Chain A
Amino acid sequence: MTSQANTRASIQQVSKQYGQHWAVRELNLVLKPGELFAFLGPNGAGKTTTIKLLCGLLRPTVGTIEVDGYNLATQGLQARAAMSYVPDLPFCYEHLTAREFLELAADLHGMDKQLAAQRMDEVIRLFELEKFIDQLTERFSHGMRQRTVFAAAMLPEPKLLITDEPTVGLDPRSVRQLKDILRNHTSKGNTVFLSSHSLDVVEQLADRIGIILGGKLIGCGTLEELRSQASHNGPLEDVFLKLTQTEEQRAGVDGP
């Protein structure tokens, strides 16, 4: 174990190649305990590949990823025990009830029965699942499914929560709830890695923001730092567009 007190996860010199195409190139990123890191980028920029690399679903072609001090390639089990992942298309077993799905999540994380029961009560309240907790998930709307999957992900109180487009399909009240939950989660010293196209949510929540384009991290820092990099003192939307457009123009001048 190579734990560092101020590092929850680190991505070191990571590149990922698909055939002839480099989806991620020489990515370096350190996620700190207690921070909410937002990951932005246009479609096909390499966000989902980075998330899958961070979850251990894919392996870097080059480079190393550590979560909670464990190398994902060699100590994957321990690393995955410290994290939870909520994908953009939430997966539930259709023939399980929401409660049974939460129990499964607790079992998969090897949680103690008593602790699991206590945490289940908490997340059911937190995500307001009471009304449909004993219904089969096959009839759930996208929002209900998203809340159930989030509840299951939060059950083991992961040190690193990775989520891809968490607010898609949620009603305004649920979005507000989710934002509070994520902030509350980081306030306990946990880390959230969030990928989203909802720039207003990111602007409100993120401690730091990373912008990826063509597999390369073109900007990383607080909103103020990104504003300074873009030489633009506007909202995140303008800063994001300016940074990505500038980079695209530069790539156009430099050639592929």
Chain B
Amino acid sequence: MNAVPDLGVFARLKCRLARNQLRGLGGENWVRPASIAFSSLLVAGFGFASSLGGFAFLNQQKLPLGGDIVGLLLDLFFLTLATLLSLSTGLILFGSLFDSPEAAFLLSKPVPDDRVFAHQFSGAILFSSAALILLALPLLLSYGLSTRAGTLYYLLMPLYFLSIPLLPGSLGAILCLTLVRWIPRRRKEALGTLAVLIAFGALFWIGMGLRNLRYAKSGDEEVLNEVLGHVRFASAAWLPTHWQSQGLRQAARGQMEPALRYLALSLTTGLMAFCLAGLVARKWYRIGVDRLSQQERRQNTSRFQWLDSIPKLMPWLSPQERALLLKDFRTFRRDVRQWGQGLVFLVMLAFYFSSLRRMFPGDIPPAFRNGLSLLNLAVVGMLLCASCGRFVFPLVSLEGRRVWLLGLTPVSRLHWVRGKYFFSLLLCLIFSLPLVALSDSMLELPAGGMVVHQITAVFLATGLSGLAAGLGAVWPSFQEKDPSRIAVGYGGTLSLVISLAYLLACLAIASMPWHFARAVGVDQFPVWGWPLSLFGLVMGGLLASLATLFPLHLGRVRLDAMEF
């Protein structure tokens, strides 16, 4: 018997897993991949159309697509993509290397640690490369079409796609292994803090750019130069992302030699980084697993116990509903990984809103104020939509195999769903109302507009919470333990699409009338504006009630019919 398995063992494993999953797509199982494929096509199609439009606009502005400005934009795009890939691969690897039964199984086998790492790394890269396909492919295809690139460009593109995630993924892996190996405790929090710091760094950088922009008053050219100067570092000759962007541009021009040279440079650097990550894994992976197990068990959760009194803000709930609400609330607040992601987006949004005023050195043009405030409300709605889909929709499913525990209690099934609904509503209101108020006050929106926005935010919070809680009960997935997988499953995807449709409808019905009246009467708000706005709010209220009550009813009916 050989001590070490042959090199193909993990490749065979991956092929078998993929083959069996594909075979399982028969019957009703096709719905989930089909919905994912449809949504992906939608996103990619939107990306393709907008980048095609963008390149056409640049052409109209007589900006050469092969020139420096477009080159700089591509450099910036690849650098941003690499940063995202690096962070997402690091985070995914943390789960698959240190927190998965598969890793424990493989580590107990006579397999070298670096091979286990390579197996998990390839999985993480494949997963995080979805963003690459969805974002980069449409942009590069539209670039190729806009520049009338030849066959060389399209032939080399897949090879460039191989090279793009390798280096950032390896850097993310090294970062993850190093953090787990060297930071003494609370590694999850450390990784989260690092992600937040990077996000803050990016925000600071954007903020500086906006500040500089504010002082550039003397015309479009100066503004453009100011902006380009701020991102010029993305074109540094030593950056591998610059090699990728340069190589693809050369390929689009039909220059084979430089295109191949940049490709080779990019691939070899990526492979070298992967080998380095393998070496780090060989040295530190098992030690990291050991050190992670030494993390002290948290016993004292009393520091945040005062937060448990928040559900008491809803005195109209029955004691059973309040007990369920408290359970969900405690579970949620103790899972840092869950709310940490939402918090990052929330802080970024708050930073963006609070920096808004800096964009305008003088008075804010009325059209900007009107449009931007509505756009910001939509952005808050998107955040609520994503948060409800990610955190609230999986709540019923997460009762999992313990669902009989609730099933045997003398609590009506309507109370289950309502408990989840109020949990979501409470959080949505706490976060959305101040955000919308911040955006509106920064944009100096009139009081009437602020009231309309606050009421719309309440409608959004209630409707999106109702949809997520109700549809979560209609399409539960009790076998799945991972909330992120529940959220991206069939029910989660469909619920997200419905929620997005509701978001658009709610904005159009409840807020648009006021904005329309404001746009027509720039100097003086028209007399008919208020009745129209009021009518919009009433209709918005009706829509919100429907979006709340109907899914909750459906969820209760589904749970009533359920056998445990």
**Contact between chains at B17 and A81 (CB < 8 Å):** no
Closest residue to B107 on the A side, CB-wise?
Answer: A57
Alpha-carbon distance between A26 and B345 when the two chains are bound, in angstroms = 48
**Contact between chains at A110 and B20 (CB < 8 Å):** no
Alpha-carbon distance between A17 and B294 when the two chains are bound, in angstroms = 7
**Contact between chains at A108 and B111 (CB < 8 Å):** yes
**Contact between chains at A93 and B101 (CB < 8 Å):** no
Name the residue among A80, A97, A115 with the largest chain B CB count within 10 angstroms: A80
**Contact between chains at A111 and B108 (CB < 8 Å):** no
**Contact between chains at A110 and B107 (CB < 8 Å):** no
Closest residue to A97 on the B side, CB-wise?
Answer: B20
**Contact between chains at B110 and A89 (CB < 8 Å):** no
Name the residue among A18, A89, A104 with the largest chain B CB count within 10 angstroms: A104
Give the residues from 40 to 86 in chain A that come closer than 8 angstroms, CB to CB, to chain B. 52, 55-59, 76-78, 80-81, 84-85
Is A220 located at the chain interface by the 8 A CB criterion?
Answer: no
**Contact between chains at A81 and B294 (CB < 8 Å):** no
- Residues of chain A with a CB closer than 8 A to B101's CB: 89, 91
Name the residue among B17, B112, B293, B296 with the largest chain A CB count within 10 angstroms: B293
Classify chain A's interface size: 35 or more
**Contact between chains at B1 and A111 (CB < 8 Å):** yes
Is B3 located at the chain interface by the 8 A CB criterion?
Answer: yes
- Residues of chain B with a CB closer than 8 A to A85's CB: 108
- Residues of chain A with a CB closer than 8 A to B303's CB: none
Give the residues from 87 to 126 in chain A that come closer than 8 angstroms, CB to CB, to chain B. 87, 89, 91, 93, 95-97, 100, 104-105, 107-112, 115
Which of B6-14, B263-271, B432-440 is the contact stretch?
Answer: B6-14
Is A256 located at the chain interface by the 8 A CB criterion?
Answer: no
Closest residue to B12 on the A side, CB-wise?
Answer: A107
- Residues of chain A with a CB closer than 8 A to B5's CB: 107-110
Is A34 located at the chain interface by the 8 A CB criterion?
Answer: no
Nearest CB in chain B: distance from A123 CB, A: 16
**Contact between chains at A77 and B4 (CB < 8 Å):** yes
**Contact between chains at A57 and B1 (CB < 8 Å):** no
**Contact between chains at B2 and A95 (CB < 8 Å):** no
Which of B167-175, B282-290, B311-319, B324-332 is the contact stretch?
Answer: B282-290
Given contacts A59-B287, A95-B21, contact A110 B294 (CB under 8 A): no
- Identify 16 residue pairs between A and B in the complex whose beta-carbon atoms are under 8 Å apart, listed by A's number: A18-B294, A19-B294, A19-B297, A20-B296, A57-B290, A58-B289, A58-B290, A78-B3, A89-B101, A91-B101, A91-B105, A95-B24, A96-B17, A100-B20, A108-B111, A112-B1
17 new A-B contacts at CB < 8 Å, known A56-B107, A80-B110, A110-B5: A19-B185, A19-B295, A20-B296, A56-B108, A57-B108, A57-B290, A77-B4, A77-B112, A78-B110, A81-B1, A87-B104, A91-B105, A95-B21, A96-B20, A104-B13, A108-B111, A110-B110
